Amino acid sequence: MPEIPTFTDKRISQTQRALTNALISLTLEKGYDALTVRDISERANIGYATFFRHFSDKDALLEDVLEKTLSDFLGLIQPVINDPERTVTLVFEHVKQNSDPVRVLLRTRNVSPLLPRIFAFSSQAMLETLIPNPQSLIPPEIAAHHMIVSILELIEWWLEHDMPYPPERMGKIVNALIMQPARKLAFLEK
């Protein structure tokens, strides 16, 4: 039977923290695909073989980073349905305070299956809350997908342009440009 450690060894958490930071900074510098495990372990000041004692490969380390980033994210996006403007503002504030990992998340879409899962999950949550208008030209799945994906696209734009507007303004913009039109066109007023 494997022992479950009560406390994590300082060396282990230090190593993993260093690898995580190395992955984030290197990905932003030269792109995830261009990285080698050697790049990462050197940046982290960690022996090459030690990398594999913690992660089976480069992708596993990425998954680890993204998982943490995403679980924070999801808690925020969830209630976006009730008060869109306020929630979107909160999302942009959160992004601002975690811009590096979020940049990594958005830049590695193809690599990780996590982001698509978020889309599906969030769309589902929306469809369960809002009431589709059967008369509408626009299928509810399309409206829900559009809302989720467009917000993420605007976050990406905002980050790549060094956050030129404050989160409150972005909340208003997203609400007017994306949320309100989609709700009016595809769902019934409650």
Partner DNA sequence: TGACTTTTGAGACATTGTATATCATTTCTC
Partner DNA sequence: GAGAAATGATATACAATGTCTCAAAAGTCA
Contact positions vs DNA (CB under 7 A): 3, 5-7, 9-12, 14-15, 36-38, 45-50, 52-54, 56-58
- What's the min distance (Å) between Cβ of 68 and a copy of itself? 21
For residue 46, the number of C-alpha atoms closer than 13 Å in the C-beta half-sphere is 26
- What's the min distance (Å) between Cβ of 4 and a copy of itself? 35
User: Per CB under 8 A, which region of 7-15, 20-28, 74-82, 103-111 contacts a copy of itself?
Assistant: 103-111
Q: How is residue 41 written in tokens?
A: 């372990």
Residue 145 as a binder of a copy of itself (CB under 8 A): the answer is yes
Residue 52 as a binder of a copy of itself (CB under 8 A): the answer is no
Q: How far apart are CA 91 and CA 43, in angstroms?
A: 31
- Give 89 or 108: the residue with its C-beta nearer to DNA: 108
Give me the residue label for tokens 């190395």: 22
Number of neighbouring beta carbons within 10 Å of residue 178? 20
Contacting residues for 143 by C-beta, under 8 A, at least 6 apart: 182, 183, 185, 186, 187
User: Per CB under 8 A, which region of 11-19, 78-86, 91-99, 105-113 contacts a copy of itself?
Assistant: 105-113
Q: How far apart are CA 96 and CA 110, in angstroms?
A: 23
User: Per CB under 8 A, which region of 34-42, 83-91, 102-110, 126-134 contacts a copy of itself?
Assistant: 102-110
